[in-house]
Amino acid sequence: MARAFLIVMDSVGIGGAPDAAFFGDEGANTLLHIAQACAEGRADQGRSGPLKMPVLDALGLGRAVHLACGSAAPGLVAQPEGRWGAATEVSRGKDTPSGHWELAGLPVPFEWTYFPDETPAFPPDLVAKVCEIAGTAGILGNCHSSGLRILSELAGEHLRTGWPICYTSADSVFQIAAHEEHFGLERLLKLCEDLAPWLHERGVGRVIARPFLGGAEDFRRTPNRRDYAITPPGPTLLDAVSDAGRVTHAIGKIGDIFSMRGVSHLHKGKSDADLADHLIRLADEAEEGALIFANFVEFDTLYGHTRDVAGYARALEWFDARAGAFLARLRPGDLAIFTADHGNDPTFRGTEHTRERVPVLCAGAGAGAIGQCGFVDVAASVAAHFGVKTPGPGRSFL
């Protein structure tokens, strides 16, 4: 039985979302703007010249960008040898759960709860709940912020007071940063785990533990981040494949996003480099008929939110090389789909995700244009490849 690999390049959007203006993101285009910056010599830190992604471009990446937004991405000019298209999301969110659930066949059937962009951002009952669980007299932050910025502002006060640093973003998320040694890693994880059901009942999508080490001036976030996401409210591709008796492998934060539902084996790592090693290893070792579902998060966390164009370009070129090593190990009949869950344009204002279409690039499915499709069509196509029932309203493009 053939296998399928569904690989999400977190935040690698390609613009053109028809409802971008509703989200305040009109004009955002993660991949196009990075490619333009590279071609103009504005992203030469640690790399140089036009954006170089020959492996994914050969699958149709450049064509997907043009299809999504009508503009050509400099450097991405290959004649496609794979299947390629651009997918549009319908869920009313531009966050990780919305994107991944819909790619897995489940558009979000409700409105997320978001916190207002003001200070304080959180209602008194939430602050009281955090203090009750944490055993502290207060919290720090209580605002919208990027993770690195709020640590630079409050790490020292956290070390003095022992109070957790609580912040949010434009996503439906509540994040808690704390020092692994002074506050305690297990204490932080328990705080987030106990708080998550209370917030999930109120429509907040995720509680995220953000541990760090070091001092006030030399802090560093650790790889022990943990996402406590609301359970998907319906069946997904993972359920469909698992219920059919097939093995599923989750790489990276896929297990967190789907609350481990439908996941047979979980493969975590300290970095995307570790996750790429898992993906390549599973291309060699995964069982016949298995689904391997992977998320590569550092495009988003390290370079999108920090608006680091050169860093994002370096990450894209590194990933393209690893994608080549992975594709070389596929077996006859295997299907591999590269896509994304939203955008995070490092040239755009602010520090948040951006509403964009995403690429859909297929290896093992012949060559040619898929055209415009929906996120749910990705799940329908993987389901068709396996011969199992489609978990949602999508239609296969295979």
Residue with tokens 């790619």: 103
What secondary structure does DSSP assign to 20-73, as a single string? Answer: GGGGT-TT--HHHHHHHHHHTTS--TTS-SS---HHHHHHTHHHHHHHHHS-PP
Tens-digit pLDDT profile for residues 23-57: 999 999 999 999 999 999 999 999 999 999 999 99
Which tokens in the block code for residue 342? Answer: 């939203």
Residue with tokens 């794979």: 82
**Span 7-24, mean pLDDT?**
97
Class of domain 124-229: alpha beta
Work out the pLDDT band at 391, boundaries 50, 70, 90. confident
Tens-digit pLDDT profile for residues 329-365: 999 999 999 999 999 999 999 989 999 999 999 999 9
User: Tell me, what's the pLDDT at 200?
Assistant: 95
- Domain 4-108+233-386 sits in CATH at 3.40.720.10
178 bridge partner residues: 211
**pTM for this one?**
0.90
Q: What percent of the chain is modeled with pLDDT above 70?
A: 100
Q: Ramachandran region of residue 71, left (φ > 0), alpha (ψ -120 to 50) or beta?
A: beta
Cβ-count burial of 89 within 10 angstroms (0-12 exposed, 13-18 middle, 19+ buried)?
Answer: buried
Q: Which three-class secondary structure state does DSSP give residue 392?
A: coil
**Span 300-313, mean pLDDT?**
96
336 bridge partner residues: 5, 363
User: Tell me, what's the pLDDT at 215?
Assistant: 87
Q: Binding site: which residues?
A: 10, 300, 305, 341-342, 353
Look up residue 245 and give its amino acid.
G
Tens-digit pLDDT profile for residues 172-200: 999 999 999 999 999 999 999 999 999 99
Q: Binding site for Mn(2+): which residues?
A: 10, 300, 305, 341-342, 353
Look up residue 217 and give its amino acid.
E
Please state the domain extents for the chain: 4-108+233-386, 124-229
Which tokens in the block code for residue 328? Answer: 């070389």
Please check whether residue 351 is in contact with residue 28, taking contact to mean a CB–CB distance below 8 angstroms: no
User: Tell me, what's the pLDDT at 122?
Assistant: 98
User: Tell me, what's the pLDDT at 170?
Assistant: 83
